[in-house]
Structure formats: structure tokens, C-alpha cells
Amino acid sequence: MHFDPWNPEFVAHPYDVYAELRRERPVSFFEPTGQWLVARHADVNTLLRDRRLGRSYLHVAGHAEFGRPDDPEFQDPFWRVIRAGMLDVEPPVHTRLRRLVSKAFTPRMVEALRPKVARLAGDLVDRFAERGGGDLISEVAEPLPVTVIAEMLGVPEADRHLLRPWSADICGMYELNPSVEAQHTAVRAASEFSDYLVGLARARRADPGDDLISALAQVTDDGDTLTEEELVGTCVLLLNAGHEATVNVTGNGWWSLLRNPGELERLRADHGLLPTAIEELMRWDTPLQMFERWVLEDISVGGVDIPRGSEVALLFGSANRDPEVFDDPDRLDVGRRDNPHISFGAGIHFCLGAPLARVELAESFGALLRRAPKMELAAEPEWGPGYVIRGLESLQVRI
Ligand code: HEM
């Protein structure tokens, strides 16, 4: 097999192909997407921190200068929302947006949320266990992070069912070479989501509550504030980034444990291993398999010259199995101590929600370990179609 992100077999087992890439072609051109694949941990880690690359190039050049076509007009509503959030901009705009939003995500703020997250996780797991199990993804993995981020932002309970489908449709655009249909679906979802949030933001600006949308709509001490477009872009980003990967770490993580019964037993016997186990599950089966960067100035990676205007695809899933960095990398070791995995990224776009994600994962894995100490697989799970955002369709378990 070779690197083939549209092939379900590759998506299910990408790690042998990654090993071959790291050994034989650590930096290689991938014709079908026109990107340079980067497979080694050292290179991925360095490039994420290298300011000669960016998530966007639009702050330094137009599409034509980078040899790219203009965005088709029908995609306007999508790009307006996406490029108003911090993830798709570079400094100085990125610095400003991240500063305005980051106050809500400091480790201290997030630690204060722990009792609430623990209560939510406990309730979900109690109900799941009382039913004797079911689909762990739709009944525990999804509702926990969706509820947490929706409550933080102040999205009314009655509207929360809308969030997951909007988010999933928008994320379709992040896969490699999305179909025209997926593009239209993403544009429609971005429009609807944005209209919804404009309404909510206006209501909160007029009548502030004790929630993050109200806080983000206020002017800060130094007189800065988010524009309405930035506020909407930020909320869409937080709602999407705030749950997609967490759902997949929960699903992929339990599937990894169930496939490695020795490690599951070790964790069941010693819940004190939970913090290292969660980091290891994020490393061993990486939920976001790759992230892209534009090359803003000529660079050289592992002896390969990559000119300005190129795009690199940083293979996080491969970096996380690199034997240069991890001892016995293909082994799942819930007690692994030295674990510089790259699943939260690195550099200026390092995941803003990492402390929150860690709290959510610790509480949901912890609740399941305590409440369902004999949980077992009820059916062989299937991978969803996504490669970039990679997760199981469902995970049927028996308690
Ligand atoms: C286990 C769960 C999560 C994983 C694996 C994850 C992973 C990532 C990664 C890899 C990036 C950087 C992307 C890049 O450099 O191109 C990122 C950025 C981001 N994440 Fe997370 N994330 C998780 C959970 C969360 C949560 C819970 C939130 C918020 C509530 C969140 C909010 C963000 C934001 C706002 C950014 C953009 C940061 C910036 O551009 O400066 N993430 N995440």
C-alpha cells in the first residue's frame, strides 16, 4: 500500500505506510494534492514553529501570486467565517484574536470548570451504564464536549442539536480534495451557523449574560474588541475545534484500549495512570492525522528544497510514531513517561483548548473506568470516511 488518504484501508491502517515514508522518503511530493508530505517528527515539529510558513498566505500575497485560482464565488460565506477565526490567520491579526480569546482558556479558568465537567461526564456515563452500553461515540464521546463548549459559550440547550451537524458539514472542507457536493454542504452549513450566531451575539451584546459570547462581545481594558464577523468566526471555531477532536480521541482511545487488553487491564488496575494513558492514546492513534502549511519563503527540509508558494502536509500521525523520538513507537504503553507527541500542534497555533480537552478526557475516561470496569466490545467498529479528522463511525460496547 502507499499513501492514499481516500482509501478506507489506508485510513484504517496508515502506520506501516508512514514507517516506510519516514525511512525512505521523509519529504516527498504527493501529486494528487500537489503537496509535500513531511513524515518525520523533527521536521514536523520544526516546520510548525517556522514563521516562514503559515496557515494562510493571504496576509503576504494574493491567490494569483501563489499560483492558486481565486476561491469560487459560491464559497464566499464559508471563507468569510473561517478567515475571521484565529486558526486561519497569521500575525498580527492572529496575535490580536488569540489574545482576546485566550483569557477564557487559561489552565486556571479551565481547572475551575472541572467539577462541572466531572458532573456532566458522570451523568452521561451513569445513564450509559444503566442501559447496559450502546454506542459510546454518540452517547458519551459526543455529548460531553459539545455540552461543555455550548454551555461555556451560552448556546441555549434547545439549539444544541444543531451544532454537531453544522460542525461536521463545515469540517468536510478540511479533507483532502473535497468533492463539489461536500463544498456546497460546507458553505451552506457555514452560512446557517453564522446567521444563527449573529442573532445570538446581538442578543448577548444587548443583554449580556454570564457566558463567553457575552464576554467576547465586550470591549477589553485596552479598548480592543472583536468585530461582529470576528466574534462569529471565533464562536464557529471554538464550537468546531472544541469538540471534533475530543470526540475522536475518546472513540479512538477506547478502541485502542479494547484492542490492547493488557494495557486496558493495567489502567483498570491503576487509575493513577490515567494522565499518561490519555497522552499515550492521543499519540498512538492520532485524531487529527495531518495539518497543512503554506510556504511563504523558500525553505529546505531534510535536504529537499521547497519553494515559496508550495504547500506542505505535516503528517502528525507519522510524527507520533517516529522511532527517533519514541521508544518502541508502535507499542501502546499507558505508562509512557517521555511523550512529546504532537497531537495538539506546536508554535503559534498550538491548541488553545488543550487544557480543556485534557480535563474532558480525564473525566470521561475516569468515569467509564470506575462505572464500567468490565466494559467490552460488542461489535467490530468501522472507521468514518475522514482522513484528516479521523474517527470511528460508532463504537458499540457492552457493560
Ligand atoms: C483532544 C482534543 C483536541 C485536539 C487533538 C486538538 C488539536 C488541535 C491542533 C493540532 C491545533 C493546531 C492546528 C494547526 O496548527 O494547524 C488546534 C488548534 C486549536 N484548537 Fe484544538 N484540539 C483539541 C481540543 C480543543 C478544544 C476542546 C478546544 C476549545 C474549546 C480547541 C480549540 C482550538 C483553537 C481555538 C485552536 C486554534 C489556535 C490558534 O490558531 O492559535 N481545541 N487544536
How much distance in Å is there from the Cα of 374 to the middle of ligand 1? 32
Residue with cell 457566558: 211
Q: What is the 3-state secondary structure (H, E, C) of 217-286?
A: HCCCCCCCCCCHHHHHHHHHHHHHHCCHHHHHHHHHHHHHHHHCHHHHHHHHHCHHHHHHHHHHHHHHCC
Name the E strands within the chain: 27-30, 35-38, 53-54, 133-135, 290-295, 299-301, 304-306, 311-315, 376-377, 396-398
Kindly give, in sequence order, each residue whose CB lies less than 8 Å from that of residue 272, ignoring residues fewer than 6 positions away. none
Measure the CA angle with vertex 104, ends 205 and 206; round to 5°. Answer: 5
Residue 176: per-residue pLDDT: 81
The CA–CA distances, whole Å, from 252 to 20, 257, 268, 270, 395 equal 23, 9, 18, 21, 9
- C-beta of residue 357 within 8 angstroms of C-beta of residue 253: no
Q: What is the pLDDT, as a whole number, of residue 223?
A: 81
Q: Are 379 and 396 in contact (CB under 8 A)?
A: yes
pLDDT one-digit tens code per residue, 20-37: 999 999 999 999 999 999
What is the grid cell recorded at 110? 479551565
What is the CA(357)–ligand 1 centre distance, in A?
Answer: 9
Indicate the helix (H) or strand (E) that contains 168: helix 163-171
What pLDDT is stored for residue 103 in this prediction?
82
Phi, psi of 19 (to 5 degrees): -60, -40
d(CA 16, CA 318): 9
Å from CA of 399 to ligand 1 middle: 32
Closest CA to 384 of 41, 4, 8, 1: 8
Give the span between the Cα atoms of 346 and 354, in whole angstroms: 11
Q: From atom 41 of ligand 1, which residue's Cα is the shortest distance away?
A: 349
Nearest alpha carbon, ligand 1 atom 31: 353
Q: What is the CA radius of gyration of the chain?
A: 21
Question: Does this model's pTM top 0.85?
Answer: yes
Quote the cell numbers at residue 60. 503576504
Task: Spell out, as residue ranges, where the chain has pLDDT lower than 50.
Answer: none
Length of the chain in terms of residues written: 399
Task: Compute the distance between CA of residue 375 and CA of residue 358 in angstroms, rounded to an integer.
Answer: 22
Closest atom of ligand 1 to 347 CA is 15
Query: What pLDDT is recorded for position 174?
Result: 83
- The pLDDT of residue 245 is 93
Q: Provide the pLDDT for residue 219.
A: 74
Distance 114 CA to ligand 1 centre (A): 19
Q: Rounded to an integer, what distance in angstroms lies between the CA atom of residue 183 and that of residue 261? A: 41
Contact predicate 346/320, CB 8 Å: no
Does residue 388 sit in helix, strand or coil?
coil
Distance 41 CA to ligand 1 centre (A): 19
Give tens-digit pLDDT for 342-399: 999 999 999 999 999 999 999 999 999 999 999 999 999 999 989 999 999 999 999 9
Predicted confidence at residue 41, as pLDDT, reads 98
Ligand 1 pocket by Cβ (under 6 Å): 55, 86-87, 98, 149, 237-238, 241-242, 245-246, 249, 287-288, 291, 343-345, 349, 351-353, 356-357
Peptide bond into 92 cis (omega under 30): yes
Tell me the pairing of strands 35-38 and 311-315: parallel
Residue type for position 226? L
pLDDT of residue 172: 86
CA angle 140/145/147 to nearest 5° reads 90
Which of the listed residues 351, 363, 388 should we mutate to test ligand 1's pocket, taking the one with most ligand atoms within 8 A of CB? 351
C-beta separation of 306 from 253 below 8 A: no
- The helix (H) or strand (E) run that includes residue 44 is helix 41-49
Q: Which residues contact 205 (CB under 8 A, 6 or more apart)?
A: 214, 217
Q: What are phi and psi of 43, to 5 degrees?
A: -70, -45
